[in-house]
Amino acid sequence: MGEKDISQAVIARLPRYFRYLGELKDEGVERISSQELSTLMQVTASQIRQDFNNFGGFGQQGYGYNVEYLYQEIGKILGLDKEHQLIVVGAGNLGTALCNYANFKRRGFYFAGVFDQNPDLIGKKVGNLFVKPMEEMEDFVKNNTIDIAVLCIPKTSAVNVADKLVKCGVKAFWNFAHCDLNVPKGIVVENVHLSDSLIKLSYNLNENR
């Protein structure tokens, strides 16, 4: 089975496996059974085995999984064995917060540029970058092999900006604007809506009443 056939629900669980395995690795744990991982992550052991079987099962032999191997393999599946160069469009509250979050670098995501249309923000330091004007965005993307763009701009301009970036070779969008992007085949979009997460919390709170 190719990775393309794997359900999005399984893919969505992989970052969590990766995070837990990273913590186990840092604690010096060498092997872990699906039962122990299940208790730690509060997912059933059968769910873990089913998820891992999508990728050949990661060779559980004797006692449990080899933590380092599993961590590396899941990292490869997630594309974390490569470095990614990102730009951020929109240096407001959200763009600034993302640029300031240093941990993305640990996972191989490098913020290479940040752009805004507001002249008052040009040249301002955000994270370790200086905000550049939008007029420089396209050349910057072409010259710096940027593969991911983070959109932290209002929905009124996100579609237009995304179109320009696709033409310059951007292959993926981390889209915080509250709109759907109409991108060509082969371009991937991850929409992030923090309010969806909050609403889910509200649902679960209601269920528990």
Per CB under 6 A, does 90 bind ligand NAI? yes
Binding positions for ligand NAI, 147-176, rule CB under 6 A? 152-154, 157, 161, 176
Least distance to ligand NAI, CB of residue 112, Å:
16
CA 109 to each of CA 98, 102, 158, 173: distance values in angstroms, whole numbers, following the listed order: 11, 10, 22, 13
Closest distance between ligand NAI and the C-beta of residue 188, in Å? Answer: 17
Segment contacting ligand NAI (CB under 6 A): 60-68, 78-86, 166-174, 190-198? 190-198
Q: Which is nearer to ligand NAI, 21 or 151 (CB)?
A: 151
> Looking at 67, 70, 74, 91, which residue binds ligand NAI (CB under 6 A)?
91
Residue choice 16, 167, 178, 200 for contact with ligand NAI (CB under 6 A): 178
Alpha carbon distance 113, 125 (integer Å): 11
Burial 54-72 (b: 16+ CB within 10 A, else e): bbeebebeeebbbbeebbb
Kindly tell me which residue out of 29, 108, 117, 138 binds ligand NAI, with binding defined by CB under 6 A: 117
Strand order in the sheet with 84-89: 132-133, 109-116, 84-89, 148-151, 172-175, 188-191
Per CB under 6 A, does 21 bind ligand NAI? no
Q: Determine the size of the site formed for ligand NAI (CB under 6 A).
A: 23
The minimum distance between CB 111 and ligand NAI, in angstroms, equals 15
Of positions 193, 199, 201, 202, contacts ligand NAI by CB under 6 A:
193
| From 94, 141, 150, 162, residue interacting with ligand NAI (rule: CB under 6 A) | 94
Residue 189 C-beta: closest distance to ligand NAI, Å: 13
Strands 148-151 and 172-175: what pairing? parallel
State the virtual CA torsion across 38, 41, 46, 51 in degrees, nearest 10: -130
- Which one, 40 or 198, has the nearer CB to ligand NAI? 198
Site residues for ligand NAI per CB under 6 A? 89-95, 116-118, 121, 134, 152-154, 157, 161, 176-178, 192-194
